[in-house]
Structure 1
Amino acid sequence: MTHRFSSLAEAGAFHPERPGGARAVVDPLDDLSDYLFWLLWLSSNIVINGGIGQSLMGIVEILKQVNDKKTTKYIREVLSMLFYFTQQSQDLLEQRLSKQPKFLVTMSAYKTFAIAGFGTTGALFAKHFAQNKENGLKWKVLSRSITKPELQEAASQGAELTAVDYDSQTSLINALQGVDVVLSALRDGGLEEVQLNLARAAKAAGVKLFVPSEYGRNTLGITEPYLISKANTHALLKALNLPYALFFTGLWPSLVLEPAYGSAVGINFDAGKFSLFGDGTEPLSWTAPEDFAPFVYHLLTTLQPSQLENAVFQIEGDRKSFKQIIALWEKKTGRKADIHERSEEEIQAYINAQETELLRFIPRQWQHGGMRVGNESNKLWPEWNPKNSKWEDLLA
């Protein structure tokens, strides 16, 4: 979003640290160094992500929006000071920029996004685009049917709805024309062919970055039948030479908190009964969709393409073993948990009795810590607050 000012005095109203707040109208030329800081605030993303050269170009573009005759006189002084200042005071600059106000917009390298699938994850992605309209990004939702109430609500918040036939390359290619990034939120049952079709169409349409549906354990080199479709997607993206970004987030807390899911794997918080696969001491990664969706959005709209292309991001809202979670539950409720540690024979019998690949997959993953992804990428957004993933809060 670009503001056009009729004078530098009017522009001064947008300086966040002026006495009187953002509404204080002053002449920033009274203090050229302070004016410099104002310019740096407006171009903060360019300075941080693009270096000094790009920051200079960014300042010039901003100055073009100021229609005041006195401006030309000061351009050289401002740019000269900017170069000197960024060379000599980079640490101070970054400290000041870290306090940037919320009204500053993101300078995303990507401008148009397509969300494929509109379940829990897809809806959350659309929500974050809608909440950040000031960034000037465009987003569309691809769906077989666009008449669903939840999709119509997304449209009312700014999403473009596009009906597609996932079995038709022509339909998908047409839908992806002009799209920079594809965000796949397709569910596991739709990954065997649908996501592969989507990737092929993305390549044909000139999409710049493909984000496949992951948001669970690290699936690099995976061979288990339940997740083999994800490995197939990785292989296709590499074969197509289509840049991709993978986001691994561990377990969703809802998998054990919701009674319908929890009871299927032996976790019952209401009854206080817990049947564990093994001794339950392996730490596992936990990240709720409500927390990883804004994280993914943030990285896609702030990092440079070179930081995103063919990159793997591992984020973690919390790390707890089942024994730690149960101990928290006992502390919160004042009740004594009924814990059963399944033996090897019992675990194998459970696996053999299951009809779905998911329930055959879970036991060994939980037993041996396969759902631990790590938090190496958390540092990319220090302000991230995964409040929906912290077991101390979830069991409150």
Structure 2
Amino acid sequence: MTTITKVALAGAKGNLGEVVLDQLLKAGFQVTALTRQGSSQTFPSNVSVKAVDYSSLDSLVNALRGQDAVVATIASAALGQQLLLIEAAAKAGVKHFIPSEFGCDTLHERTSTLPGYKTKVDVLEYLKKTAAETGLTWTAVFNGPFLDWGLKVGFLLNVKERTVEYPDGGNNKFSTTTLESIGKAVAGVLKNPEQTKNRGVYVQDAAVSQRQLAEAVKKVVGADGWKETITSTQEIYQQGLEEAKKANPNPGIVFVTTLKPAIWGEGWGSQFEKLDNDLFGIKQLSDEEFQAAVASYVPK
């Protein structure tokens, strides 16, 4: 039976990475943070730190020797660096790899075709191939958009400017999860490597529509002065396809026009059908708990 004790974390200082690090430590794992050479980042005294060159296979293999698992919470712009990290993990004898997914379901047959997810899909396909050829196993964590971060920074809707978009009318439900619950899911995967190996796992704190989310926010900040627009995810999707065809596409446009149909469009797997919450001890929020959570996350 596989037991995971030592975990290497790549991207430990990102929005999600810091929370994942905290949850791994709370779960009792021995964590090593991988940092870029020359980095001045600091970590708690109970975290080991290894500086690596993400472009060097030898550097990564040396850093990963003796580790049981690798968790990547790498930012979108650097997702491609996981290819070498996966190769290094396999060469170093690492047992399990969790790639930097943590969003919409890129295993979904439609979502996987979206241009903005190409790098994630390529990484996951390479991870599957490597796992089939070596002793490495993997798990992809899917959680929908970040509920707390999405409200704080104005991604899900913009509280400071009082603007909200209702894709396709805003009534399609989507799965959404807080950073803390995602961190718990990562720790849960590593506590249950046999039950979660070589598959995607799905967690959510709630499944809500954009209109339900907006109403919850308005109960906190007031309903006056909002600018509301209705958009079409099909039109947004077509914009993304056209942008992706250009000789020099704008990656930001491609990414955003990918995210919107994947989160809010019907038929893109945005509301998860089967959840792994129970395996990880993650309780879904009641209506009252959801309202209280929204109240704690919106900018005042």
Taking structure 1 as the reference length, the TM-score comes to: 0.62
Q: Give 2:246's aligned residue.
A: none
Aligned to 1:141: 33
* Superimposed CA distance per residue, residues 347-392 of structure 1 (whole angstroms, 9 cap, x where no aligned partner): 57976799412222133224414332345101213464669xx641
Counterparts in 2 of 1:279 and 1:177: CA distance versus 1, 3 Å? same
Greater C-alpha radius of gyration: 1
Asked if residue 277 in structure 1 is aligned to residue 167 in structure 2, the reply is yes
Provide the C-alpha distance between the structure 2 equivalents of 1:259 and 1:309, rounded to a whole number of angstroms.
33
Q: Does 1:244 align with 2:141?
A: no
CA distance in 2 between partners of 1:347 and 1:224 (Å): 12
2:271 paired with 1:372:
yes
Unmatched 5+ stretches in structure 2: 244-248, 296-300
CA distance in 2, matches of 1:344, 1:211: 30
Distance (Å, rounded) in 1 between the aligned partners of 2:187 and 2:61: 24
Worse overlay, 213-222 or 291-300:
291-300
Indicate which of 199, 203, 214 corresponds to 1:311: 199
**Paired position in structure 1 for 2:187:** 297
Matched, 1:206 2:97: no
Following the alignment from structure 1 to structure 2, what is the Cα–Cα distance between the partners of residues 187 and 366? 19
Aligned pairs (5 A) from 1:157-176 = 158-176=46-64
Query: RCO greater where, 1 or 2, for CA within 8 Å and sep 6 or more?
Result: 2
| Equivalent-residue separation in structure 2 for 1:367 and 1:153 (angstroms) | 37
Tell me, which stretches of 5 or more residues in structure 1 are unaligned?
1-49, 51-107
Identity %: 24
Give the deviation of 1:152 after TM superposition: 2.0
Quick one: distance in 1 between partners of 2:42 and 2:23? 16
Structure 1 residue 223: Cα displacement: 2.1
1:76-96 deviation line (CA, Å, top 9, x unaligned): xxxxxxxxxxxxxxxxxxxxx
Q: Which residue of 2 aligns with 1:88?
A: none
C-alpha contact 1:285 1:374 (8 A) present in aligned 2: no
| Residues 347 and 199 of structure 1: CA distance in aligned 2, closer, same or farther (over 3 Å) | closer
Preserved CA contact (<8 Å) 1:226 1:358? yes
Structure 2 residue aligned with 1:392, among 288, 291, 296? Answer: 291
> 3-state SS of the aligned residue for 2:23?
helix
Q: Retained in 1: the 8 A contact 2:60–2:88?
A: yes
CA contact (8 A) 1:274 1:338 kept: yes
Q: 1:322 to 1:166 in 2, by over 3 A?
A: same
> Per-residue deviation at 1:261?
3.8
Does the Cα contact within 8 Å between 1:291 and 1:386 map onto a contact in 2?
Answer: no
Shift of 1:231: 1.4
Deviation string, structure 1 residues 10-68 (Cα, Å, up to 9, x no partner) = xxxxxxxxxxxxxxxxxxxxxxxxxxxxxxxxxxxxxxxx9xxxxxxxxxxxxxxxxxx
Q: Which amino acid aligns with 1:287?
A: T
More strand by share: 2
Match of residue 22 from structure 2:
127
Corresponding letter in the other structure for 2:256: L
Output the CA distance in 1 between the equivalents of 2:213 and 2:56: 46
User: Which secondary structure does the structure 2 equivalent of 1:114 belong to?
Assistant: strand
CA contact (8 A) 2:216 2:291 kept: yes
1:124 is matched by which residue type in structure 2?
V
Structure 2: which amino acid aligns with 1:365? A
Residues 349, 172 of structure 1: alpha-carbon distance in 2 compared, 3 angstrom cutoff: closer
Superposed CA RMSD in Å reads 2.8
- Correspondent of 1:363 among 251, 257, 260: 260
The reply on whether 1:342 has 2:231 as its aligned counterpart is yes
- SS of equivalent residue, structure 1 residue 372: coil
Identify if the C-alpha distance between structure 1 residues 190 and 343 changes in structure 2 by more than 3 Å, giving closer, same or farther: closer
Q: Which residue of 2 aligns with 1:78?
A: none
How far 1:393 moved relative to its partner? Answer: 2.0
